[in-house]
Structure formats: C-alpha cells, structure tokens
Amino acid sequence: MKYKVTLNGRTYEVEVENGEAMLIDEYEAYAPAVPAAPAPAPAAVAAEPAAPASPAATAAGEQVKAPMPGNILKVNVAAGQTVKTGEVLVILEAMKMENEILSPRDGTVAQVVVTKGSVVDTGAPLVVIA
C-alpha cells in the first residue's frame, strides 16, 4: 500500500509491503488552497440537535477555514499579529491526528474566531487575515 505523509513541512510518499516500508519520494509540502465559501445554511429547526459552537467571523479579510471537523488544540496567533505564508495559525485535532492549519498568505490577523478547546465543523472560520 502507498501512503503520503506530511510532517514538518515535508511530504513523504511511502510504500509498505510485507511489513517493510520503502521511501518512494520526498518533497516540500505546500499550503492547501483555501476552498470557496460554502452556501449559507438554512435556519436551524428547533428539533435538530445543536451543532458545535463557532462564533461568526465579523472582521473583513480572508477567512482561514477548518478543512475538517475537529477540536482546536492550540491557537498560535492573536489579533493584530503579522503572519507570513505557511506560518502555523492553529493546531486542529481530527481523528487523533494533529493538523497544522497554515496561513495562505502574508498579512495581519484581523480576528481569531476560535479558542483552545473549541469544536469546529468543516468550513468553520478559524482566523481572519487582512
């Protein structure tokens, strides 16, 4: 079986056969493109279970969104802080894996939407970069 693993900004392509692992390829990891904003959801019906809480982003700028549902383990930035492309903004735990959410561009943090311990859904805004 072939696997792609990203660790500390490097992506490793590994093949495992008969319990033996072989490195096939290694290359620089890239920051994923920010997906387009999803269509607004209809108003919640009272009978539906509550979704994980996520305050709405209010600051103007580019929203960095959660690529998957999970728990916020660490927030590395604060409002007003200058960030560079590829800088780790938030650590998101999903399926027992720690995922680094990176800045898609240089800029200034306009708003930090989540806090440590927050539960987020896919597409939830995490940080707004102006």
What are the structural domains, with CATH classification, of the chain? 1-30 (no CATH), 62-129 (2.40.50.100)
**pTM for the structure as a whole:** 0.57
Residue 20 confidence (pLDDT): 80
Mean pLDDT of 33-44: 59
Average pLDDT over the chain, rounded to an integer: 80
Nearest residue to 77 via CA among 118, 124, 109:
109
Tokens of 125: 């805004």
With cut-offs at 50, 70 and 90, classify the pLDDT of residue 73.
very high
Residue 6 confidence (pLDDT): 76
Mean pLDDT of 95-123: 92
